[in-house]
A and B are shown apart, each in its own frame.
Chain A
Amino acid sequence: MPRPLDLLPFLLSGAVVTVELTAGAAGVACVAAFLAGLGRLSRRRPVRWLAGTYVEAFRGTSALVQLFWAYFALPLVGVSLDAMTAGVLALGLNTGAYGAEVVRGAVRAVPQGQHEAALALNLTNAQKMRYVILPQALVAALPPAGNLLIEMLKNTSLVSLITISELTFRGQTLRAETLRTVEIFGLLLVVYFLLALLITSGVRALERRLSFGMDRGGGR
């Protein structure tokens, strides 16, 4: 294979790990964002406080520091995580905190009239959220969620610093072996860019599917 493409196979096996990490952390982030976002809208003050603390704590500190803390400091209080678990958890909880604000904003953006119509039909609160509010909030949350997913993808490069053999780690390994720095890091950037494009188009397609029939842009 021509240079620099001969580097690709080694790098792409790292890309697989990157995708796995992104998917795993995204799963954690979704759950955390959902719980914390709705938690901040709860009528019970302790729930609001708990959710708020999680969000502010994880948004206010650096993702890399959280990662290091999960991997290096946690063992010293008795919880020993392997690198992958530490990575997925730390990144997932970090992005989940930003996601919580997206969820909160999306739910609050559903017009008041929808709540009133649901009440007028005598739906319980749970039924209202499940059938009326959340489906609409989901569509509104997709664009910012897509951006967060790209942030997540970029953050996976940080786990190279706790020795997980994903894309960036492999890039560093190659550099140490071959010193072809421009090609290696150029390729790395291109692969990440393509992955990001994939995510963006995927999110847009999902948006189109979910808002089928809906007049996007503040319908009644």
Chain B
Amino acid sequence: MFDWAFALRILPDLLRALRVTVQATVFGMVLALALGLAWALARRSVSGPISWSAAWFVEFVRSTPLLVQVYFLFYVLPGVGLRLNPFLTGVLAIGLHYSAYTSEVYRAGIEGVPRGQWEAATALNLSHFHTLRHVVLPQAIPPMVPALGNYLVAMFKDTPMLSAITVLEVLQTAKIIGAETFRYLEPLTLVGALFLALSLCSAALIRWLERRLVLRTAERL
């Protein structure tokens, strides 16, 4: 039933495609981390409209399917003059989608810093920017790492959606192999196994990062 020889033959192709998966995830995560912080700060803004729009935007993006958002950008962007290749479109879609989730993590993390810290910073006459940069964010970030890490793992598992807009990541490659050889069992099973391996590795990486950050803050206190 399961042709191991065939599986070994196609493995190099899948591993090559896995690189695309990893790249898409890493770039997507960088975008999500940056944008997420922007939305979180916007939601805390004293300006009503800004805060309100950011809140609704985040809620809208979180509640709608990533696949539809991918299609949206893929078909709509060229129309407004932005001709990106499928890979970049996909990265943009994933980054935007996950920025909605990371913004919630940032918000919870920032609100988790005790009010007394803000008050001490005000008493020292620090500007809002410096307060965030030197007092609040350094304390807010370590507890956020597990949640952000979970989203990294989730993002890996969402990259196969990019196969719908012809990005040559690992699921698309598996589909092509299947269409050519009529053998779907081995490529799809291998893809599943590869994702499982990726998940476990990322989870271990996150735990390591958690330990390192916790130790450093404990020493400081």
Contact = CB atoms under 8 A, between A and B. Distances in A.
Interface residues of B, number: 37
B66 interface: yes
The prevalent SS among residues of A at the interface is helix
Contact of A168 (B65, B178, B196): B65
Contacts of B161: 64, 158
Given A185-B75, A189-B60, A61 B67 contact: no
B44 interface: no
Interface in A33-70: 57, 59-66, 68-69
Per DSSP, chain B at the interface is helix
Interface string A158-202: 101100000010011001000001100110110011001100000
A72 B188 contact: yes
Interface in B151-170: 156-161, 163-164
Nearest to B179: A72
Contacts of B195: 60-62, 65
Given A66-B192, A69-B189, A76-B183, A154 B164 contact: no
14 contacts: A64-B163, A65-B157, A65-B171, A65-B191, A68-B175, A154-B64, A168-B65, A171-B68, A171-B71, A181-B75, A185-B75, A186-B72, A192-B63, A192-B64
Interface of B: 1, 60, 63-69, 71-72, 75-76, 79, 156-161, 163-164, 171, 174-175, 178, 183-185, 188-189, 191-192, 195-196, 199-200
